[in-house]
Amino acid sequence: MMILSKMKRYVLLIFFATAIISAVAGQTNVRQTFNRETFEKRRNTFIITEAGLTVEEAGRFLPLENEFKQKLFEVGMECRRLTRESQNNQKMSDADYKKMSDCYLESRIKEAQLEKEYFEKFNKILSPEKIYKYQQADTKFSREIVIERRPPPNRNSGNNRENPRNNTDNNRSRR
């Protein structure tokens, strides 16, 4: 039961990281190009290092893990399409909202099923310790990508969210 709970968190983190990265990329005026091959190489290198995979383990595990990630991506495609369409639609009906909610729920279920299927395959290649380290590395990599792609704070806005004490309006003494 504990493994399912961790798996749910892991799947949700992947889903939200993907959604956040997509949202951040969509907010910039200059569209950033995404090179999937470069991204996979970077993620694979990170996973090898963080999980401590041997050359043999990496050679057997990474193609399977990349296939898993591709399938996860494909599962969420319909929901991402609906989300993009909804952003342009000012007058969505209850049926539209229900369709989006149902799609999101179905994609989460499919992602959990895929994760279970692939983690059974991963168990034939890696030890439980290395699978755990892989999960931690994948989560850490996702966080780092989100932080890296986050736009820098707007210094011209007069509202310094990083440290409210730096905002001169908050430092004025009331006498």
Closest CA to 146 of 154, 138, 158: 138
What is the structure's pLDDT at 67?
A: 95
On whether the CB atoms of residues 96 and 86 are closer than 8 A, the answer is: yes
DSSP state of 172: -
Range name among 6-10, 40-44, 69-73 with the lowest pLDDT average: 6-10
Model pLDDT, residue 46: 95
Average pLDDT, the chain: 79
What average pLDDT does the segment 137-155 reach?
87
Average pLDDT over residues 91-113: 90
Whether the model pTM is above 0.85:
no
Percent of the chain with pLDDT over 90: 45
The 3 state secondary structure assigned to 83-126 is HHHHHHCCCCCHHHHHHHHHHHHHHHHHHHHHHHHHHHHHCCCC
Cα–Cα distance measured from residue 134 to residue 102, given in angstroms and rounded to the nearest whole number? 30
pLDDT for 68 beyond 50: yes
